[in-house]
Structure 1
Amino acid sequence: MKLFDVYPLFDVNIVKGKGCHVWDDKGNEYLDLYGGHAVISIGHSHPHYVEAISNQVAQLGFYSNSVINKLQQQVANRLGELSGYDDYQLFLVNSGAEANENALKLASFYNGRKRVISFNKAFHGRTSLAVEVTANPSIIAPINNNGHVTYLPLNDIEAVKSELIDGDVCAVIIEGIQGVGGIRVPEVKFLQELSRICEETNTVLILDEIQSGYGRSGKFFAHQHAGIRPDMITVAKGIGNGFPMSGVLISPKFKPVYGQLGTTFGGSHLACTAATAVLDVMKDENLIENAAKVGTHLIAELKKISQIKEVRGEGLMIGMEFEEPVKELRKRLLFEEKVFTGVSGTNVIRLLPPLCLSMDEADDFLGRLKKLL
């Protein structure tokens, strides 16, 4: 049987990782500034993470959500403490798209509406509702195109107000920082005004922090730079450091109803063990503070490079926009300089390294990049 060929692949087989470095099957070492697409939050093969998962799988890997799993409450307690959202509720699922699906569904149950506001260049996932709020017609199948969504320009608060004034919008969904859209950061005043108008119109505000959350921006969630508290926050990627897991943080104003939401694999014993280990390391090693410090340094140094048109981002979520397509540059970084990076569109290179990236590793990357440029 062949694999269904939907991914354009580099001819590299990664077999080992440690911290911010990975190795291929030929023994070549790479500096990982992509983090498996922002998934590796605490670094590859962290010993505490490895030990915790190994011990848990030896004891119990999975049982269903028909019985108590105290590890779920442990994750909720730790996440609430570290994020500042200890008064919220947590619903655990498996992927970012699934988190957004459930957030949108819960919003519609809450106010009985079905219109949604999303933003140009947004990406929220590839499943039914998640892909419908993703501003990319090429991945929205006819069965998903149900006319529920209006896409607006990012940071245009007047456009948002004109849509919300009639009070028929179920939810506004927005990324803390647009990832696929090119590392575009919502303005602080825009987020603050958006939060205010959503509250006034009983519109549910959903912050998609799947890529921008879990310390990546230098705060636990990127929207915390604006000092707002949304109705729901979706998380994935960094939550499990590679173990598939996601969740929805839900405001106290939402009341759970048996049967409305559910999942088979969400919040499994292994997933919760992985998530708890991630939070342990983030706290013990001050990784959020490190992301802020190293990210600030990296952004400042990148802005000095004349060949880069614009540098955008917060913390260790950074976009470098060039005048010309970056496909060849990204390929040269990988094969000549042994550095993994990501892309957004044709002209933006994305940096999404593990949050443990050191100053020395950041400077090492700067040297390799300048060598090519």
Structure 2
Amino acid sequence: MSHLFPTYQRWEVEPASAQGTYLTGKDGKEYLDFTSGIGVCNLGHRPPQVELAVSGQLKEYWHVSNLFQQGIQEKAAKLLAEASGLDYVFFSNSGAEANEAAIKLARKATGRSKVISFIKSFHGRTFGTMAATGQDKIKQGFGTMLETFVHIPFNDAEALKKEIDGETAAVILEVIQGEGGINVASSEFLSAVEASCKEHGALLIIDEIQTGVGRTGKAFAFQHFALKPDIITVAKGLGSGFPIGAIVGSAELKGAFGPGSHGSTFGGNPISVSAAVATMETIFEPVFLKQAMDMGNYLFEKAGEKLGSLEGVLAIKGMGLMVGIEISGNVQETLALLREKGMLALPAGENVIRLLPPLNMSQEEADKALNLLEETITALAPAAS
């Protein structure tokens, strides 16, 4: 009997060890891991530089609270600020907490309450971030949602222009909707969102929880476009598996988050922050980002060549090393067969296979993954048709 609440549809795999792009189960079976812990292990499992940094911090101190000055936090904040082009950082424990903080900051800084989000978005499972999320399945059974959150179609600038007004505190969006099905925003839409925010004095919050820290070949996904957000939120890939999240905001917002306005007992924990520093020092190097972008282009191009014409494949979409394969068949059945063949991947939306490999994977690993996907999709093609 398990004493865990059954909140997850767990796979049949129980990990015994993991290194790089591979995970080994307790039964001895090895898997090519293209989940990266749902976009968390951007340097693969147990990257040596992160392990070394954490080991060093463990020998110094584990926790003291945010009443103390901590140089490791200042170092991490500087790396985030410089990489994003923004100014001030608040550390949380997770992506949901980061989005909660961003919503609080926007409402406090503007004195307004209305927040606009988008259909098929995902921002977390707390009450605030659940209300911001544009997916009804996330909200079922939890009663009345928090007020003043409005959801409109993604990539629809006209819908935004009709909804945004002088009561709007912020617009929150993902440049690529991850959980919603790997839906990429158009540059025209993003430009229109930014212009509308400026026109009405609303803040632009970009949720980089899944797309940030190199996932798309740049430090942050918004940097593929000529955007200047007021706030970005970061988590997943920031700590290489250690729990951490953050918001990064513009200098104009400093006064809204003064002493006592927000807090977190464990936010900015030195163990997690040391992992984040080692992760960022690796990923934010221009050479590393260039290699990640090149690998993303390779994976996307080869996926098109190998999978694009298969029966049951409807589309291949995404950016960088965040790739979605839209299929007509049953995604969970496809992923189960893929695991049997020795590869781990994720679902997204209703019918999308989501690939989130480590940013430093090899071409050989990319080719192996695509071969396994081809075998799996082909084997299930009669059911898909």
Query: RMSD of aligned C-alpha atoms?
Result: 1.4
Q: Which amino acid aligns with 1:345?
A: G
Q: Does 1:146 align with 2:151?
A: no
Cα distance, 1:285–1:23 mapped onto 2, change above 3 Å? farther
Return the match for 2:322 from 314, 317, 321.
317
Q: Which amino acid aligns with 2:72?
A: L
- Matches for 1:163-242 after TM superposition, within 5 Å: 163-164=163-164, 166-242=165-241
- Matches for 1:12-51 after TM superposition, within 5 Å: 12-51=13-52
> In the alignment, is the contact (CA less than 8 A) between 1:171 and 1:203 conserved in 2?
yes
Separation (CA, whole Å) in 2 of partners of 1:357 and 1:245: 23
1:217-241 deviation line (CA, Å, top 9, x unaligned) = 1111111111201010000000001
1:46-70 deviation line (CA, Å, top 9, x unaligned) = 1111111011112111111011011
Return the match for 1:349 from 348, 353, 356.
353
Q: Does 1:62 align with 2:63?
A: yes
Unaligned segments of structure 2, at least 5 residues: 379-385
Aligned length: 369
Separation (CA, whole Å) in 1 of partners of 2:39 and 2:288: 14
Secondary structure in 1 aligned to 2:170? strand
Secondary structure in 1 aligned to 2:251? coil
Q: Does 1:327 align with 2:328?
A: no
1:61-81 deviation line (CA, Å, top 9, x unaligned) = 111101101111000122233
Q: Does 1:359 align with 2:371?
A: no
Unaligned segments of structure 1, at least 5 residues: none
> In the alignment, is the contact (CA less than 8 A) between 2:80 and 2:248 conserved in 1?
no
- Matches for 1:292-307 after TM superposition, within 5 Å: 292-304=293-305, 305=307, 306-307=309-310
> In the alignment, is the contact (CA less than 8 A) between 1:192 and 1:227 conserved in 2?
yes
Separation (CA, whole Å) in 2 of partners of 1:44 and 1:12: 16
2:382 aligns with none
2:158 aligns with 158
Q: TM-score, normalised by structure 1?
A: 0.96
Q: Does 1:259 align with 2:260?
A: yes
1:8-54 deviation line (CA, Å, top 9, x unaligned) = 11111112111111111122111110101001011111111111101
Tell me how far 1:329 sits from its aligned partner: 1.4
Secondary structure in 1 aligned to 2:242? coil
1:75 aligns with 76
Separation (CA, whole Å) in 2 of partners of 1:159 and 1:131: 21
Tell me how far 1:139 sits from its aligned partner: 2.6
> In the alignment, is the contact (CA less than 8 A) between 2:213 and 2:280 conserved in 1?
no
Secondary structure in 2 aligned to 1:303? helix
Q: How much identity, in percent, do the aligned residues show?
A: 38
Secondary structure in 2 aligned to 1:309? strand
Tell me how far 1:142 sits from its aligned partner: 4.4
Q: Which amino acid aligns with 1:54?
A: S
Q: Which amino acid aligns with 1:73?
A: E
Separation (CA, whole Å) in 2 of partners of 1:169 and 1:157: 16
> In the alignment, is the contact (CA less than 8 A) between 1:96 and 1:246 conserved in 2?
yes
Tell me how far 1:147 sits from its aligned partner: 2.9
Cα distance, 1:283–1:112 mapped onto 2, change above 3 Å? closer
1:288 aligns with 289
1:93 aligns with 92
Q: TM-score, normalised by structure 2?
A: 0.93
1:66-115 deviation line (CA, Å, top 9, x unaligned) = 1101111000122233x242x41010010100000010011000111111
Q: Does 1:243 align with 2:248?
A: no
1:243-263 deviation line (CA, Å, top 9, x unaligned) = 000000011111232111111
Q: Which amino acid aligns with 1:342?
A: L
Secondary structure in 1 aligned to 2:184? coil
Tell me how far 1:357 sits from its aligned partner: 1.2
